[in-house]
Structure 1
């Protein structure tokens, strides 16, 4: 169960380190780790492993490595199951050696990132698995933890998914309230097209087939089929006929993703894989001897 995602490109340390540093600063507080500093000799050295307690997909190892390195550069972390690896309960994902005090102090922050991001990757993989046999790709949304968007979107990719918009500035997504505010799909698309650059794509959220007709007539690049049944989605995909990218969204679960994928949509988006994914249980265990 150790297969990984060969196309996964690590996030730059320059991007990740400030996030991890902030988490360590929060945890250390005003006086540092008073438990460890009071009972663990500065000379103590240990070896440890980070191992899984349940099956899933690993993500966040770079965050863990940076957490330990920031506490003490003398700590070495050797990754044995890289991000994107599918693991079984009991698998060792990394081994650690170095000063015991620094390892103990960084442990919780490192595991917080690793468990949460592995949970996101595992949740994503569950939808990817459910959509197998169809062309649909699984994507996340902007429903991310404030400050952790880059990490969570990377974890989605580790789980076999792809990223939606990273933020409000890299794509136009016209939703129902935008349409209500300006009075129609046609006018909304026309205004957006006039304002944006030629490299920016426009997607419109539609809830009915008549809305879909209006979006296609306006020449959109993508349509978000919101809360449609699989049967209606199938009809919508036939209407689109390759003229735009089709995206399904709205209460997508492990139980429903196969039927949604069978409709023929190109993309299936789910917010819960970032905002509500259960953490994957991993632990750090000191090794005797």
Structure 2
């Protein structure tokens, strides 16, 4: 199922602000080259390394904000894995538009494609297991909605977009009030319907306490694989309706071992924090 791009109500303002950041009082170089009118021309983008494409519809919007009648044709689909030197899109518009919008548009697609590429690697590593890959809130400030979009394009599932998306009781929350039991009881008094409660646990004793307090989701945080197996067995036996999430120091080396424990979800920030930009360039037709 295709990942929907963010709402124009959110996206257009972000793109407008980022264009303003880059252009400022004007594109001095391009404005001097074309002080009045610029010719209509064609260009294309090419990826210079293998990777998963993400962000082309967003890049199109960048150019549309600069020129409403720009012509754009995608030569690749969002989430498509492509080989080096593949054309991914063609564009036709004023030379001035293409030169001024190039950097922001490319920056976004390079960044988002890098995330999608990394996410795909993690998803493919556990494709033979029931566990699903989930991202986290460890994102670049101001870019979360797009970085999580790219994570979804790569095949991951979005965890909370923000603190208002759900209740997750973490170690510092537990420490702040004294215990898992007290934290859950306090939250249940005022939590909005129909939010669920996820609780972070680090050992089997905390897992048992979370089960007794009827948590909806139990996170096994930074547990050894053998302890995860014991925790999964305990939770399935006591309450099979509880969802189980594994988290903490997840890598491509150990993710299969984690999936083998039988957890429902594996969450990691690596798809975003450990990804690199995919190398993409714009070239003009000759």
Structure 1 residues not aligned, in runs of 5+: 1-5
Residue 178 (str. 1) matches residue 173 (str. 2): yes
Scaled by the length of structure 1, what TM-score is found?
0.94
Give the match for residue 3 of structure 1: none
CA displacement, residues 242-289 of structure 1 (integer Å, 9 cap, x when unaligned): 23111111111111111111111111111132233211111111111x
Give the match for residue 32 of structure 2: 38
Scaled by the length of structure 2, what TM-score is found?
0.95
Runs of 4+ in 1 over 3 A off after TM superposition: none
Residue 84 (str. 1) matches residue 88 (str. 2): no
Give the match for residue 259 of structure 2: 261
For 2:165, what is the secondary structure of its paired residue?
coil
Q: 189-198 or 217-226: which moved more?
A: 189-198
CA displacement, residues 122-150 of structure 1 (integer Å, 9 cap, x when unaligned): 11111001111001111111111111111
Q: 217-226 or 50-59: which moved more?
A: 50-59
Give the match for residue 273 of structure 1: 271
Separation of aligned partners in 2, 1:159 and 1:207: 29
Give the match for residue 108 of structure 1: 103
Separation of aligned partners in 1, 2:106 and 2:132: 29
CA displacement, residues 100-131 of structure 1 (integer Å, 9 cap, x when unaligned): 11101000000111011111111111100111
Give the match for residue 50 of structure 1: 45
Query: Is the CA contact 1:215–1:223 (under 8 Å) kept in the aligned structure 2?
Result: yes
Separation of aligned partners in 2, 1:168 and 1:53: 38
For 1:59, what is the secondary structure of its paired residue?
coil
Q: 222-231 or 108-117: which moved more?
A: 222-231
1:1-289 matches, cutoff 5 A: 6-30=1-25, 32-40=26-34, 42-241=37-236, 242-288=240-286
Separation of aligned partners in 1, 2:262 and 2:166: 23
Separation of aligned partners in 1, 2:106 and 2:217: 38
For 1:47, what is the secondary structure of its paired residue?
strand
CA RMSD across the alignment? 1.3
Structure 2 residues not aligned, in runs of 5+: none
Separation of aligned partners in 1, 2:56 and 2:83: 17
